[in-house]
């Protein structure tokens, strides 16, 4: 019997892979120079490591090394992209478009720009009850574009419901109208093949700690070439990263980021189908054990469904949903009570709540779910270190807690 805690919250963050840690270690105590020090070998060696990592990360997304700007994570990358473009708007206009289900690291900077004079359109998504729940209908985007639209920001894969948006189509529409396309690919890079040229976008955000790398390091890919993407730096100082992001580079973090991404790419063809099978088993088991279990977001298995145009060549077939993501609502139980009783199973609520301020998930609400269904949801994020045995244990534990809570509430 399994007694150790079981981590099923891999959309929040991931364990650092020991191979990543091993690659990072020498850069704390042996090769510890500042990559911007040009007058001695300590600095040169650090710079060499950063150059190699930059090259490797760029290659992993089909980019040129000169297009990578290292940041502290995807929140900063999103801010640099969105605020950076808006503050360099020139004469084009100040209309920004995004989607209701974006991460707060996109919605908040855009809302803030809205309070400072930008015009903002936030598009809805396909409603619950459809196999395409959570998808953006590209015709809605086309209709929302205006002559003064400056930027469109749409994520590649959603962190709560795993829905994969048709980014290459979105980008093509933006290109026709001369609008800059930004994509938050934090949950997609390392899990799906991502090629920035195929996607046809201008800016892409991603982060190391979602892919078994360290926390506190990320990147913004900024397309070079014409038409030029101009960004206003958000952190000013010594002029690092081509002047776009000043601050001493986190050399061990950057080395770890590159190693983490290399490992993800190597293992992706085996790992993603493995996770999809475990995820499908978890859902099948929950629905077999319990009544009143409903899937939130798009279909798990898209093979028999009419597929949206493929955002990019995905593993073996086009997908609607991240292979490792599951989000379900359990009728007649409260999500908070569910979480409190989950014991050693680490999952998160579909409602992103802090104890002081329980707020139902804006993503589930955007699907049209009732507050009740939103509050009774759990998000499972499977990852590299999960085994089939853990999934069986978690499944039994969740079913038991739901049954117990339902019994208690029927007695009340
Ligand atoms: C889709 C998405 N965007 C942005 C972020 C923020 O990333 P970071 O923690 O690297 O700032 C996250 C992580 O929570 C995310 O899932």
186 in ligand 1 pocket by Cβ < 6 Å? yes
Written in H, E and C, the secondary structure of 165-213 is CCHHHHHHHHHHCCCEEEEECCCCECCECCCHHHHCCCEEEEECCCCCC
Of all protein residues, the one whose alpha carbon is nearest to atom 15 of ligand 1 is 186
- Output the CA 156–ligand 1 centroid distance in Å: 12
Helix (H) or strand (E) holding 268: helix 251-289
Q: Is the dihedral of CA 31, 32, 35, 39 positive or negative?
A: negative
Q: Does pLDDT of 304 surpass 60?
A: no
155 CA: nearest ligand 1 atom? 1
Mean pLDDT on 326-331:
96
Burial of 150 (0-12, 13-18, 19+ CB in 10 A): buried
Of residues 349 and 393, more confidently modeled: 393
Distance CA 327, CA 163 (A): 11
Q: Does pLDDT of 166 surpass 70?
A: yes
Report DSSP state, residue 242.
G
165 in ligand 1 pocket by Cβ < 6 Å? no
Cα angle 233, 239, 240; round to 5: 95
- Output the CA 208–ligand 1 centroid distance in Å: 10
pLDDT at site 273: 87
pLDDT at site 131: 86
Of residues 335 and 392, more confidently modeled: 392
pLDDT at site 359: 79
Helices and strands counted in the chain (H then E)? 13, 13
Q: Does pLDDT of 319 surpass 90?
A: no
Architecture field, domain 18-259: 3-Layer(aba) Sandwich (3.40)
Instruction: Residue 387: count other Cβ atoms within 10 Å of its Cβ.
Output: 11
Local confidence band at 141 (pLDDT 50, 70, 90 cut-offs): very high
pLDDT at site 411: 65
Q: Is the dihedral of CA 189, 192, 193, 196 positive or negative?
A: negative
pLDDT at site 305: 34
What are the tokens at 95?
A: 């209309």
Q: For a pLDDT cut of 90, what percent of the chain falls above it?
A: 84
Task: Say which CATH topology domain 6-14+268-411 has.
Answer: 3.90.1150
Helix (H) or strand (E) holding 402: helix 388-411
Distance CA 356, CA 324 (A): 30
Local confidence band at 28 (pLDDT 50, 70, 90 cut-offs): very high
Q: Does pLDDT of 96 surpass 60?
A: yes
207 CA: nearest ligand 1 atom? 10
Give the CA distances from residue 408 to residues 162, 398, 411, in Å, rounded to whole numbers and listed in that order: 32, 15, 5
Q: Pocket of ligand 1, candidates 102, 108, 186: which has the most ligand atoms within 8 Å of its Cβ, to mutate?
A: 186
Give the CA distances from residue 48 to residues 45, 222, 330, 394, in Å, rounded to whole numbers and listed in that order: 5, 22, 52, 44
Report DSSP state, residue 164.
B
Mean pLDDT on 131-137:
92
386 in ligand 1 pocket by Cβ < 6 Å? no
Distance CA 69, CA 152 (A): 20
pLDDT at site 65: 98
Q: Does pLDDT of 161 surpass 50?
A: yes
Local confidence band at 58 (pLDDT 50, 70, 90 cut-offs): very high
78 CA: nearest ligand 1 atom? 4
Q: What's CA 120's distance to the chain center, in Å? A: 22
The per-residue pLDDT of the chain, averaged, comes to 92
Q: What's CA 169's distance to the chain center, in Å? A: 19
Please state the pTM of the whole predicted model: 0.94
Domain ranges in the chain?
A: 6-14+268-411, 18-259
Distance CA 68, CA 276 (A): 31
Comparing CA positions, the residue from 63, 136, 49, 90 lying closest to residue 367 is: 136
Local confidence band at 352 (pLDDT 50, 70, 90 cut-offs): low
pLDDT at site 2: 53
145 in ligand 1 pocket by Cβ < 6 Å? no
pLDDT at site 269: 87
Of residues 8 and 309, more confidently modeled: 8
Q: What is the pLDDT of residues 207-253, one digit of tens each?
A: 999 999 999 999 999 999 999 999 999 999 999 999 999 999 999 99
Local confidence band at 318 (pLDDT 50, 70, 90 cut-offs): low
Q: Which residues are catalytic?
A: 353
75 CA: nearest ligand 1 atom? 11
Q: Is the dihedral of CA 292, 296, 302, 306 positive or negative?
A: positive
Q: Pocket of ligand 1, candidates 73, 106, 189, 379: which has the most ligand atoms within 8 Å of its Cβ, to mutate?
A: 73
pLDDT at site 4: 87
């Amino acid at each position: 019997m399994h007694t150790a805690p079981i981590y099923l919250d891999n959309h929040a963050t991931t364990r650092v892979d020991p191979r990543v840690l091993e690659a990072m270690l020498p850069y704390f105590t042996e090769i510890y120079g500042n990559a911007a020090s040009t007058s001695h070998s300590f600095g040169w060696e650090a710079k060499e490591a950063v150059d190699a990592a930059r090259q490797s990360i760029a290659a992993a997304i089909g980019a040129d090394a000169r297009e990578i700007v290292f940041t502290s994570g995807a929140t900063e990358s999103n801010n640099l992209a969105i605020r950076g473009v808006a503050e360099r708007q020139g004469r084009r206009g100040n209309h920004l478009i995004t989607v209701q289900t974006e991460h707060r690291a996109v919605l908040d900077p855009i809302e803030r720009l809205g309070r400072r004079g930008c015009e903002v359109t936030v598009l809805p998504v396909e409603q619950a009850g459809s196999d395409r729940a959570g998808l953006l209908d590209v015709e809605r985007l086309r209709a929302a574009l205006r002559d003064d639209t400056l930027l469109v920001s749409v994520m590649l894969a959603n962190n709560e419901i795993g829905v994969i948006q048709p980014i290459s189509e979105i980008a093509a529409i933006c290109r026709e109208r001369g609008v800059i396309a930004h994509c938050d690919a934090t949950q997609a890079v390392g899990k799906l093949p991502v090629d920035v040229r195929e996607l046809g976008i201008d800016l892409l955000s991603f982060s190391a700690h979602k892919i078994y790398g360290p926390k506190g390091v990320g990147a913004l890919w900024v397309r070079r070439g014409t038409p030029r993407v101009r960004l206003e730096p958000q952190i000013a100082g010594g002029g690092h990263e081509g002047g776009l992001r000043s601050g001493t580079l986190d050399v061990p973090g950057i080395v770890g980021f590159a190693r983490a991404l290399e490992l993800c790419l190597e293992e992706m063809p085996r790992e993603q189908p493995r996770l999809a099978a475990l995820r499908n088993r978890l859902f099948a088991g929950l629905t077999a054990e319990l009544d009143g279990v409903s899937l939130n977001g798009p279909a798990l298995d898209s093979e028999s469904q009419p597929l949206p145009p493929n955002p990019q060549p995905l593993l073996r077939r086009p997908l609607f949903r991240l292979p490792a993501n599951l989000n379900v609502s359990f009728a007649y139980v409260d999500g908070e009570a569910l979480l409190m009783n989950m014991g050693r199973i680490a999952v998160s609520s579909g409602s992103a709540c802090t104890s002081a301020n329980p707020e139902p998930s804006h993503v589930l609400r955007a699907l049209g779910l009732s507050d009740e269904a939103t509050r009774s949801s759990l998000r499972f994020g499977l990852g590299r270190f999960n085994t089939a045995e853990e999934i069986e244990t978690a499944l039994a534990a969740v079913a038991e807690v739901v049954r117990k809570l339902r019994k208690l509430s029927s007695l009340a």
